[in-house]
Structure 1
């Protein structure tokens, strides 16, 4: 993608109107368009693909991000910028397109009114297991949040080995540094788009939710946001030793030294191929991922991440920031659902043992999940994987925050939710199902394969309204969690439930 400066704009359609904003690096041109129906703001402005850093290529490949140099004239921000995700990522549940080009470190800003002042800000970090994902998804359009008076930003970051892989002489956690620089950009520039830098909520789903929790527990990030919303957050907290072992294995497989020079001699596509081979999710690696987490992701490097995130939260890092977190009930059940016929011949005890559940805990877990077990081994195994990778973390993080709050005068509340509505496509609440409800975009593309026909708009109204309330007022509208474990449950009805995550207790 070529550098844009002082470009002549394309002619707008009758429904469009160009709007210009001055950022710290230069002027950008966005496009006014309708918001979602109803609400305070019937129109908003989208600014797409604004670079916050120089392209991470050439001498900057495998380097810490460098702030974008100023440009002359007006830069078009009318189309999504290049994405770090390359080519076809394979089966995905969210439409997240890959866009070619070098300037992959960019942000998209959706604002109700650039001339407003002090509007709350939502910054969205996409998921994708830390190895894929794109901020250019139509589901991440801030149209509905704009309608409700919230400036929305989606950011890009380096994924996979380029973002997280260990290299002997390269800075660690390069993607984490991308998050930090993007949030610095928001602090420096969001007022020009009508937003308030003192009212920034970070939010994300899956690896993006893990990013939110990582940032919440990171001392170096505390000045960059004021509240956090984590959907299905997957913490990586990769050990330095495990990260180095993977980095050396990738370099060895590529027949190069594990250095910037060595790995830079390989093409981007070759590194991606080596990464896929080293991290392929086969049956032999499944138990390792359940026990040890994802192999690529934020690394406990003693620098940006001085200790695992749960330990930092327990020590009080981020305790002054309100947090909402939760999961869908069956994040990974569909991974095993397709194997349902084969699992008929696998003894239940063997299946549970392979998934890390043995002894007394197995008996307690089966008793607490009898309703799921009655639906078959695929559903039971899927729920167990979901619980070990996602749902136990909710309980542990909420407990860590409560423990820290006892010693901190200005400790902020934690709210917990469960998304339990059964998809009309799968019959259970699978991974990613809550995202279009959060963004109130049930009329968007690729909805039927995830949610089935006619997903309930009333449920989207409830989920989205809670998110708006949290971003605007710091309270999603249900009681904060406490020792009773109360949580909001989004199902065919919306209600509050004490001890809502009781079914994972045997795993704690």
Structure 2
């Protein structure tokens, strides 16, 4: 059967809210003639507009007839935010709370992967061709990608509004999976949640949330960026945004501002400069899941240390140089900045510099741009891997590092591991991130490990225990090393 013929072969499923129509497509690199059915843009909630804009999500009312689920639905992301390295298109429209389901079969009870996209909690889109679950389908895994409200609409403090609206969107989407995935051939008792960057932070947040434990059974966090915004900081940001917009910090006040105006105010309030970058390292993101005393009664690390989610397998890690790209534009200026001053500005105190520089001698030898990028990466991402692993103690935890250097950038930058995870190196916009001819054999191994976690609860290398243990290094060749995050330990006293 030709691809064109496959694209016109429709398939229908009855969900709790109504019937949906998807279509069959081919997989790639498959074993035999495995197909993948895509159901795109199925609403799990009513459109968050009008009176519902700053409220908790409301489950979608049933519809009559058959809903075409043949193209991506509207996204919370508007326009081009100019920050995403992954092709994540914006789709205009109001009904932004949707799921995309990819399945190889409606029969049986296959394990399920639910993907939460990244984007700093203010950008990103589930409509990326990289997030297509066809090759997870090829390997016997039903795949779902979900949307959620972003930025201030999703996470901003507003007097009289429910907190953490974006988190509530995740929860309702996962409830939808529990109620409906069996109709798509998935097993609701075998759900693994995964995400990258803010999406990686999202799944860690959910792992530490008592109220979410019944919704999933395993976690895979790529470059997890935990927010855990303190309640006073969240409120201060909301009040400041209201003042800037000339309104009261209430639901009615913010509702009087159009979406474009709120986005404009949000962008201005979160613009990064040299001083604000250091502030973000020390204080974290201003918008994201907040410790509200309700959904999140305590910070995620405290919850994990108390044993929340301890029975669930967790894989987590980062790329080696997540944010080195952010420093490349400053390479010329950094040549004239003394190393001591640079480290001081990046918050590395004198008391630990010798240990840190010694542990990262290979990066120091590459110059101050690479050193600055590594410090940013370590403080924002890599120390968090050790902190989470330590908090979980003997809970089943596996750590990795993605170290393969991009053929374009020459180092393992933010987002580089995502197409390897999805086994989509043949996808669009790959060369600007990975360079020409990225190694398919590495994608084969990394993707297989992800499938192994979803199917068997074990990715296939020795577990990590507390502060130290075996770390899988994704590179060519793939290898396992002892204490693979030792080079960041000097920074852990600063916090993640």
- TM-score range normalised by the length of the shorter chain: over 0.9
**1:136 maps to which of 127, 148, 162:** 127
Deviation, structure 1 residue 37: 2.5
1:455 lines up with 2:438 in the alignment: yes
CA distance in 1 between partners of 2:218 and 2:31 (Å)? 24
1:492 paired residue number: 476
2:242 paired residue number: 251
1:183 paired residue number: 174
Gap change, CA 1:389 and 1:46, over 3 Å in 2: same
2:161 paired residue number: 170
Give unpaired runs (5+ residues) of structure 2: none
2:104 paired residue number: 112
Kindly indicate whether the alpha-carbon contact (under 8 Å) linking 1:40 and 1:147 is maintained by their aligned counterparts in 2: no
CA distance in 2 between partners of 1:306 and 1:322 (Å)? 23
Deviation, structure 1 residue 38: 1.5
Q: Give the SS at the match of 2:114.
A: strand
- RMSD across aligned C-alpha pairs, in angstroms? 1.0
Deviation, structure 1 residue 281: 1.1
Report Cα offsets for 1:290-325 as digits up to 9, x if no partner.
001111000000000000000000000000100000
**1:17 maps to which of 6, 9, 12:** 9
1:235 paired residue number: 226
1:279 lines up with 2:270 in the alignment: yes
- Show the 5 A alignment for 1:409-448: 412-448=395-431
1:95 lines up with 2:116 in the alignment: no
Normalising by structure 1, we get a TM-score of 0.95
Deviation, structure 1 residue 358: 1.2
Deviation, structure 1 residue 339: 1.1
Kindly indicate whether the alpha-carbon contact (under 8 Å) linking 2:464 and 2:471 is maintained by their aligned counterparts in 1: yes
1:328 lines up with 2:319 in the alignment: yes
Deviation, structure 1 residue 337: 1.6
Q: Which runs of 4+ in 1 moved over 3 A?
A: none
Segment of structure 1 superposing worse, 486-495 or 127-136 = 486-495
1:389 paired residue number: 380
Deviation, structure 1 residue 40: 5.6
1:212 paired residue number: 203
1:505 lines up with 2:469 in the alignment: no
Q: Give the SS at the match of 2:315.
A: strand
Kindly indicate whether the alpha-carbon contact (under 8 Å) linking 1:41 and 1:112 is maintained by their aligned counterparts in 2: no
Gap change, CA 1:13 and 1:428, over 3 Å in 2: closer
- Show the 5 A alignment for 1:54-69: 54-69=46-61
CA distance in 2 between partners of 1:311 and 1:415 (Å)? 19
Deviation, structure 1 residue 42: 1.6
Kindly indicate whether the alpha-carbon contact (under 8 Å) linking 2:84 and 2:123 is maintained by their aligned counterparts in 1: no
1:352 lines up with 2:343 in the alignment: yes
**2:462 maps to which of 479, 490, 494:** 479
Deviation, structure 1 residue 491: 1.1
Segment of structure 1 superposing worse, 238-247 or 38-47 = 38-47
Kindly indicate whether the alpha-carbon contact (under 8 Å) linking 1:40 and 1:149 is maintained by their aligned counterparts in 2: no
Deviation, structure 1 residue 14: 2.7
Deviation, structure 1 residue 223: 0.2
Deviation, structure 1 residue 41: 5.6
Q: Give the SS at the match of 2:465.
A: coil
Residue-pair matches, total: 488
2:113 paired residue number: 122
1:7 paired residue number: none
1:3 paired residue number: none
**2:192 maps to which of 189, 201, 213:** 201
CA distance in 2 between partners of 1:39 and 1:397 (Å)? 37
2:44 paired residue number: 52
**1:73 maps to which of 65, 69, 88:** 65
CA distance in 2 between partners of 1:347 and 1:482 (Å)? 38
Normalising by structure 2, we get a TM-score of 0.97
Report Cα offsets for 1:111-166 as digits up to 9, x if no partner.
0112x221000000000000000000000000110100100000000000000000
Deviation, structure 1 residue 99: 0.2
**1:400 maps to which of 377, 391, 401:** 391
Kindly indicate whether the alpha-carbon contact (under 8 Å) linking 2:200 and 2:224 is maintained by their aligned counterparts in 1: yes
1:302 paired residue number: 293
Q: Give the SS at the match of 1:14.
A: helix
Deviation, structure 1 residue 487: 0.7
Kindly indicate whether the alpha-carbon contact (under 8 Å) linking 1:40 and 1:148 is maintained by their aligned counterparts in 2: no
Q: Give the SS at the match of 1:485.
A: strand
Report Cα offsets for 1:432-490 as digits up to 9, x if no partner.
00000000000000000000000000000011000001101111110001254211001
Report Cα offsets for 1:204-244 as digits up to 9, x if no partner.
00000000000000000000000000000000000000000
Q: Give the SS at the match of 1:31.
A: strand
CA distance in 2 between partners of 1:392 and 1:37 (Å)? 36
